[in-house]
A and B are shown apart, each in its own frame.
Chain A
Amino acid sequence: MAGYTPATASDQAEMLAAIGVSSIDELFEQIPADIRLNRELDLEDGMSESEVYRFLAGLADMNLDAERIPSFLGAGMYDHYVPAIVDAITSRSEFLTPYTPYQPEVSQGGLQVMFEFQTAMSEITGLPVSNAGLYEGPSAAASAAYLAMGQTGRTGLVASRGLHPHSRETLATHAVGFGATLTEVGLEGGLTSADELEAAVSEETAAVFLQNPNFLGAVEDIAALGEAVKARGAMLIVQVDPMTLGILRPPGECGADIAYGDGQPLGNRLDFGGPSFGFFCAREEYLRKMPGRIAGETTDVDGRRGFVLTLQTREQHIRREKATSNICTAQALNSLAGMVHLAWLGKQGFVELGELLARRTAYARGLVGSLDGYELLHDAPVVREFAVRSDRPVDELLPLGDQADGPAPRLPVYPLGRDYPEYEDCFLVAITENRSVDEIGWLAHMLEHAQAGWGEHIHDHDHEGNPVAGALR
């Protein structure tokens, strides 16, 4: 076994003698004999560090990650460039290895990070209060629903079909426990149908969930949609992609009561889906009903500035069954990564990145939309992702090459069919600052071949015949 335990045989003998028992087995006698395992676990024997490394590196090599193929996958998680300082800071033992800051005198670093994070998230969402983070996006939707039901005393939840399918499914799962009903509102021209929304909201509606940009990439007019919500006294809850908030009107200025989302685009790697972090911002009046940890500024007995976990009477360890949420361990290290990335982008860079995404996406959208066999699913404005309809079924489209010679890698775009049967012939294309003009050209060329047939080779060049360095590495 690995050398993670210091106790030598003589240590053990001394310790057993001090305890007054003759063996470790004796300490386990409190477990009734008939439920003891009495055999070794049926797992492989322990391996050396180098063997474990090689085994897990071997599994990693079987994955087609975003360094091996230009990835246009999005759907809530994006291949942004994570600056090197994020890794440098999050890998420090002082941030990596402590527990939740229950002893504030020796946790000022982590607590101050939370305070800075709360400030930054509050700024980008335009809402006055933020918590220190939740698990991730869709479960933050469930937390928002729980708050809204408690606040309004109503049980109806309404969600646009533009809300991430994972968020809608997570809401549906939790609704069973919350005693809520979930109603969906359809899309028209890529955008939430204002008429359907108005019809769906009633005096029983606790909250309406919208997403901006929505799952099809379209920028919604949240303020306009929100009027029908407000008119019925329901809460307006908006899931946002934080990386678009450099340019989009923040939810706080669109009448949102709560804005939440997944923080992965901010400083977190893709990690096949997690861990990232969830964020949760709200209007002032909901402060004492927020889920999760909140850091607050205070002073110590010598008058020095310091930070503590505050408003803890909301939380499970104090309030138990009456808590505003059951969350305990969240994703603090991931929130730190988000904060460092935001500081690195800074006030100007955050705007510039949003502009870069919008311009590159407009270029890619124009290019893909002009290809034979493809058309845009909608022409609503977008920031960083767009939806495309294909003449050829998407299943047949994605393998890069004819499969006669064995399975071909798949073109990394997001097929919409599983989540939206009505868009079975459609897919999403996501753009980040990592997707160069050359790679966008490569995508266009792959799509042309995919529609028309592959011929003899998978080509490593773009639609104009120029080579694309690193395509399908």
Chain B
Amino acid sequence: MSATTLTETPQQADRAKTIYEKSVPGRRAAQLPPLGEGINETPIDELIPAHLLREQPAELPEVSEPEIIRHYNRLSRRNFDLDTGFYPLGSCTMKYNPRLNERVAGLPGHAKLHPATDPSDAQGALQLMYLLQESLSEITGLPTVSLQPSAGSQGELAGLLLTRAYHDDQGRNPTKVLTPDTAHGTNPASVTMAGYEVVKVATNEQGGVDVEDLKSKIDDDVACLMLTNPNTLGVFDENIAEISSLVHDAGGLLYYDGANLNAIMGQARPGDMGFDIVHVNLHKSFSQPHGGGGPGAGPIAVSGRVEPFIPRPQVVRNEIGDEVFFDLDYDRPKSIGRLRGFQGNFGVFVRSLAYILSLGGDGLSEASRLAVLNANYLKQRLSEGRAGKYLPVAFDRHCMHEFVLSGAPMKKDLGIKTLDLAKRLLDFGFHPPTVYFPLLVDEALMVEPVETEAKSDLDAFAEAIESILEEAEGDATVAQNAPYTTPVRRLDEVGATRKPVIRQQIA
């Protein structure tokens, strides 16, 4: 394939225009209801003093409704999405988003319920939240769940603030949080925001925590160890029981980053491994659509000793006589307080509970088993042929739900980097895996094929990789200059950072 510039159709030529550039003075879409009989068209400056009022209207686009639909539909076609193709983005669990979940979340009883509705008029919503709390408690093996955090990183921060509250309550003030060098970037960022110091723990040859290194860093100044298990290399840390005792014996807590929970649902539970705090990404394991970058939700599950400190309000089930009443409990004196407004991302809770109800306990378990089967199968496929030669697996053993390849030999022998391979995959109609993460694997590719992908999709992906490598053996420049078939080709990210243009200039 060559890098010819195609002549653009009108649609293509138009697509890079912003909605502002389509604005024509006097055009409009909105028709507002009349003010109402008996209400005066009082000049606004008689209601609000003039010096508190806006002088010039904000520059918003002036467009008609059909133009808006056309504009955003055309934009949408410039996105690759999960409903269109394989999306093996490691650590992101890009599983199918059932449309039933959208339907139930959109019912007026859920979607048009005000968050300050008195609990007596919101029993359905509170019961729904209670059922999700109970389900996540069973799945994680921990007794109490707070649904409040908005996504994984807010769950992490909540967990670290819980850690602080727990130690404070015991009159202790440890200052350090241990994280493996394979951790997601949100972990160390959250640690700093919680006022702790990050101490990195090394990874052993099996991709797990280096226990000797851990021992050398554990003392009574350790507040907590944050761990993902299976970790970001897709490896289950079999020393978890020992790690857990080491941390607990020193008075610390264990935090579980639930980003990889999709590997172990119904197989093993963080609570049973000794973790005290777990966050769960409902937009990963529990099928909330990713929306191009959210919304998600990051509920946390905690052990008994952390329970007094969870955010408030908490949904509780009270029995008054033979009546059951679901309520919001604000009376939690040791609570860390709020992380956000109202009760959390309820719309996400509806979708995730729909998913849990659809699959049931057996189905969740089966989902994890098939996710692991898919990952090991794809890993096997990619250990054959050219992929096996140029893209060796970073830790060669059975993986859990994802695995990491190193593009180092590919870079050395073929002259194409992991980034080039990723860009060339776009031409083949695949979303690339996560690239350059985890950091300790050179030229890393992190592949998570999830349970909702068919074997034929995995085969096609493996074949695409093989084709790209074969092509690169002949001519490395093809991958080096890829992609060719996408709405735009490689973009100047350096220039974008050097002279940021982050909004439209309006004349």
Q: Is the CB of A173 within 8 A of B161?
A: yes
Residues of chain A lying within 8 A (CB to CB) of residue B453: 6
Residues of chain A lying within 8 A (CB to CB) of residue B374: 7, 15
Q: How far is the CA of A275 from the CA of B465 in the complex (A)?
A: 38
Q: Is the CB of B337 within 8 A of A107?
A: no
Interface residue ranges of B21-43 to A (CB < 8 Å):
23, 27-30, 32-33, 35-42
Instruction: State which size class the interface on A falls in.
Output: 35 or more
Q: How far is the CA of A322 from the CA of B189 in the complex (A)?
A: 7
Q: Is B348 an interface residue (CB 8 A)?
A: yes
Q: Is the CB of A56 within 8 A of B153?
A: no
Q: Is the CB of A99 within 8 A of B295?
A: no
Given contacts A42-B361, A83-B30, A383-B48, contact A95 B79 (CB under 8 A): yes
Given contacts A98-B82, A103-B80, contact A300 B38 (CB under 8 A): no
Q: How far is the CA of A114 from the CA of B422 in the complex (A)?
A: 24
Q: Is the CB of B65 within 8 A of A344?
A: yes
Q: Is the CB of B48 within 8 A of A326?
A: no
Q: Is the CB of B30 within 8 A of A15?
A: no
Q: Is B477 an interface residue (CB 8 A)?
A: no
Q: How far is the CA of A356 from the CA of B189 in the complex (A)?
A: 44
Prevailing SS type, chain B contact patch? loop
- Residues of B in contact (CB 8 Å), total 212
B197 and chain A: residue at smallest CB distance: A321
Q: Is B245 an interface residue (CB 8 A)?
A: no
Min C-beta distance of B23 to chain A, whole Å: 8
B26 and chain A: residue at smallest CB distance: A348
Q: How far is the CA of A299 from the CA of B499 in the complex (A)?
A: 12
B84 and chain A: residue at smallest CB distance: A93
The interface stretch among A116-124, A198-206, A369-377 is A116-124
With a 10 A CB-CB cut-off, give which of A53, A169, A329, A358 has the most chain B CB atoms.
A329
Give the contacting residue for A61; candidates B124, B290, B496; CB below 8 A.
Answer: B124
Q: Is the CB of A120 within 8 A of B341?
A: no
Min C-beta distance of B25 to chain A, whole Å: 8
Give the contacting residue for A139; candidates B95, B154, B337, B369; CB below 8 A.
Answer: B154
B457 and chain A: residue at smallest CB distance: A6
Interface residue ranges of A82-128 to B (CB < 8 Å):
83, 85, 87-89, 91-110, 112-113, 115-116, 118-120, 122-124, 126, 128
Residues of chain B lying within 8 A (CB to CB) of residue A271: 105, 110-111, 113, 115, 345-347
Q: Is A404 an interface residue (CB 8 A)?
A: no
Q: Is B336 an interface residue (CB 8 A)?
A: yes
Interface residue ranges of A12-71 to B (CB < 8 Å):
12, 14-16, 18-21, 24, 26-32, 34-37, 40-47, 49, 52-53, 55-68, 71
B379 and chain A: residue at smallest CB distance: A19
Residues of chain A lying within 8 A (CB to CB) of residue B42: 359, 362
Q: Is A279 an interface residue (CB 8 A)?
A: no
Q: Is the CB of A250 within 8 A of B58?
A: yes
Q: Is A468 an interface residue (CB 8 A)?
A: no
B89 and chain A: residue at smallest CB distance: A99
B128 and chain A: residue at smallest CB distance: A59
Interface residue ranges of A324-367 to B (CB < 8 Å):
325-334, 336, 339-340, 342-353, 355-356, 358-360, 362-363
Q: Is the CB of B18 within 8 A of A115?
A: yes
Q: How far is the CA of A68 from the CA of B65 in the complex (A)?
A: 29
Give the contacting residue for A97; candidates B49, B289, B339, B426; CB below 8 A.
Answer: B289
Give the contacting residue for B114; candidates A66, A418, A433; CB below 8 A.
Answer: A66
Q: Is the CB of A88 within 8 A of B69?
A: yes
Q: Is A246 an interface residue (CB 8 A)?
A: yes
Min C-beta distance of B84 to chain A, whole Å: 7
Given contacts A41-B139, A105-B483, A410-B118, contact A308 B491 (CB under 8 A): yes
Q: Is the CB of A115 within 8 A of B455?
A: no
Q: How far is the CA of A304 from the CA of B78 in the complex (A)?
A: 14
With a 10 A CB-CB cut-off, give which of A45, A273, A294, A342 has the most chain B CB atoms.
A273
Q: Is the CB of B373 within 8 A of A27?
A: yes
Q: Is the CB of B241 within 8 A of A32?
A: yes
Q: How far is the CA of A67 from the CA of B73 in the complex (A)?
A: 29
Q: Is B185 an interface residue (CB 8 A)?
A: yes
Q: Is B186 an interface residue (CB 8 A)?
A: yes
Given contacts A93-B83, A306-B491, contact A65 B138 (CB under 8 A): no
Q: How far is the CA of A122 from the CA of B164 in the complex (A)?
A: 37
Q: Is the CB of A300 within 8 A of B370?
A: no
B83 and chain A: residue at smallest CB distance: A93
Residues of chain A lying within 8 A (CB to CB) of residue B180: none
Q: Is A436 an interface residue (CB 8 A)?
A: yes
Q: Is the CB of B127 within 8 A of A62?
A: yes
Give the contacting residue for B360; candidates A29, A47, A60, A359; CB below 8 A.
Answer: A47
Given contacts A325-B189, A344-B68, contact A32 B238 (CB under 8 A): yes
Residues of chain B lying within 8 A (CB to CB) of residue A328: 151-153, 184-186
Given contacts A245-B54, A320-B188, A331-B294, contact A1 B362 (CB under 8 A): yes
Q: How far is the CA of A112 from the CA of B362 in the complex (A)?
A: 42
Residues of chain A lying within 8 A (CB to CB) of residue B493: 104, 298, 308, 310
Q: Is the CB of B347 within 8 A of A269?
A: yes
Min C-beta distance of B182 to chain A, whole Å: 12
Q: Is A285 an interface residue (CB 8 A)?
A: no
Residues of chain B lying within 8 A (CB to CB) of residue A249: 51-55
Q: How far is the CA of A170 from the CA of B241 in the complex (A)?
A: 35
Residues of chain A lying within 8 A (CB to CB) of residue B122: 63-64, 272
Q: Is the CB of A92 within 8 A of B102?
A: no
Sample 17 A-B pairs with CB under 8 A, ordered by A number. A1-B363, A34-B241, A40-B362, A93-B82, A95-B72, A120-B61, A176-B161, A177-B164, A274-B341, A297-B496, A299-B491, A308-B493, A325-B193, A328-B185, A344-B29, A344-B30, A358-B48
